[in-house]
Amino acid sequence: MEDELLTIGVFARRSRLTLRALRLYERLGILSPAVVDPDNGYRRYREDQLLTARMIVGLRRLDMPLSEVARVISASPEVGAEVVERYWAGVERRIASQRELAVRLQEGLRGNESRPSPFRVQERDSAAVIVLSETRAVEVPELRAAISGAITRLSRLAAIHGGAVGGPMILFHGEVNEDSDGPIEVCVPVRTASPATRSEPEHHEAYVTLTKAQWEWPRILSAYDAIDEWIQRTGRRPSGPAREIYPAGFDPTGTASTDEVCDVAVPIG
C-alpha cells in the first residue's frame, strides 16, 4: 500500500499545486492527505486524489472562493455541478454590471451624453420610526451574510419590543466597496422604545425600487449612482445616510429576477 502512495512533493508537481497550497487545503479540509506519518509528519496522497486536486485548480482559475470550492469538492457530482453553475451565473451578472459601468465611465470621460438610466427616481415622505439596530464595519465579501445575521438577531429581539412593524433597513454610514468598509447599520423597526432602541427621524427622501436582477451586487451600486445624479441635477442635498429598505420576510432565494425586492433611498433636504 505504501508504494502506491505519492509523497507530497511528487503530488505537488503532478497536481500543479504548491506545497503551501496543499497545506492550506488540508487545513481547510478541502484536500487531506491519505496518510500522515505519526512519527515524522510526512504526508502521502493517493493517485486518484490527483483528480480532486486538478478540479480544485480549475475552480480556482474561475476565481471561485475556497468556501465555494469546498462545497463543490464535498458534494455529489450533480450538486457540485449546480454549485459551479450558480457561481458562474453570478460572475456573469457581475461582469455585465461592470461592463455597463465601464461604458458610463467612458462616456463621462469623453463628454458624451449618458444613456437613459434604467432607474426612475421618485420622492416621498418617511415617518419617524423606533428601531433596534446593529452597527459594524464590513467588507464586500461579508456584506450579505453580515446583513442577514444581524436581521435574524434583531428580529428575535423585536418580540420584546412589541414586535417588528415593517421590514428591515440597512443604513450605509460610509460606502462598502473594494476600498471602504462602511460602517453599515442594520435596523428593524419596532413598536415600543427601550434603552436598546433609537429613533430614526422623519424625513423626505428620494428613492428607486429595484427588481431582484437590479439588486444583485454590484449592479445595485448603479441605483445609488442614479439617485446621486438626480440629487445633483435637481439641486437637492442629502440629509442622511443612504439606505436599503426591504419588505418584511424578504427571501432572495425564492424571488424571481423581475420581482421588486427593495428600495434604495437617500434622505434629502
CATH topology for 122-268 is: Multidrug-efflux Transporter 1 Regulator Bmrr; Chain A (3.20.80)
| pLDDT digit string, tens, across residues 35-82 | 998 888 899 999 999 999 999 999 999 999 999 999 999 999 999 999
Cis omega (within 30 of 0) for bond into 183: yes
Of 14-18, 161-165, 192-196, the range with the lowest mean pLDDT is 14-18
Residues 208/263, Cβ–Cβ less than 8 Å? yes
Task: Write the CATH number of the domain with boundaries 2-74.
Answer: 1.10.1660.10
pLDDT of 115 reads: 62
Greater pLDDT, 249 or 88: 88
Asked if 2-74 and 122-268 have one fold, the answer is no
Domain ranges of the chain: 2-74, 122-268
Closest to 97 (Cα-Cα) out of 191, 189, 222: 222
For the record, the C-alpha cell of 262 comes out as 427593495
CA-based nearest residue to 170, from 66, 244, 116:
244
Which residue would you say has higher pLDDT here, 117 or 11?
11
Q: What is the side-by-side order of every strand in the sheet holding 6-7?
A: 6-7, 43-45, 35-36
Q: Note the pTM of the prediction, 2 decimals.
A: 0.69
Indicate the Cα dihedral angle 101, 107, 108, 111, nearest 10°. 180
pLDDT tens profile 129-143: 999 999 999 998 899
Under the banding of pLDDT at 50, 70 and 90, the label for residue 99 is: confident
